[in-house]
């Protein structure tokens, strides 16, 4: 599966990289008009900047909220990065179906945040993970 970018998205990617000096892997806009940038592994600190300076500057330049997620080739770590700052105790793969991942939150409050109203948060995070990995579903234990 290849991801195609329009001229506007390419401009956003270029501007993000120029301001933050971080390598960007992907950029897309979610249903809430939030700009999401997936940066390469070990580039998150650079992308955010000292005390969040790059992130704030980028939000001002783009005139909208942004979210920066660090890519990881390990699917379990990538899922943790997607749901951050919600604390996760463990992520495991279902034995019978390798395409389903189960997230174990640290407490009941975290469980509610992970799932969201009508499982909206869970499906949203699932859609981000599906851009990079052949997963069928995310579940919360």
Quick check: is 55 in a domain? yes
Q: What is the dihedral of CA 79, 125, 33, 5, to 10 degrees?
A: 60
User: pLDDT tens across 58-67, in order?
Assistant: 999 999 999 9
Q: Are residues 66 and 80 in the same domain?
A: no
pLDDT digits (tens, 9 = 90+) for 83-136: 999 999 999 988 766 789 999 999 999 999 999 999 999 999 999 999 999 999
Supply the range of the domain harboring residue 16.
Answer: 7-70
In a domain, 86, yes or no: yes
pTM of the model: 0.90
Last residue in a domain, options 42, 70, 98 = 70
Q: Are residues 118 and 132 in the same domain?
A: yes
Backbone φ and ψ for 5, nearest 5 degrees, come out as -115, 145
Q: Does 100 lie in the same domain as 136?
A: yes
Both 23 and 80 in a single domain?
Answer: no
């Amino acid at each position: 599966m290849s991801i195609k970018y329009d001229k506007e998205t390419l401009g956003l990617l270029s501007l993000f990289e120029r301001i933050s000096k971080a390598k960007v892997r992907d950029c897309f806009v979610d249903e809430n008009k939030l700009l999401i940038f997936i940066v390469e592994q070990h580039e998150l600190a650079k992308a955010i900047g000292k005390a969040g300076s790059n992130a704030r500057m980028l939000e001002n330049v783009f005139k909208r909220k942004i979210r920066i997620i660090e890519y990881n080739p390990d699917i379990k770590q990538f899922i943790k990065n997607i749901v951050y700052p919600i604390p996760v105790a463990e992520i495991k793969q279902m034995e019978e179906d390798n395409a389903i991942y189960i997230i174990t939150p640290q407490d009941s409050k975290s469980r509610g945040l992970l799932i969201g109203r009508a499982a909206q948060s869970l499906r949203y995070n699932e859609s981000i993970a599906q851009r990079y990995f052949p997963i069928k579903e995310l579940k919360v234990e």
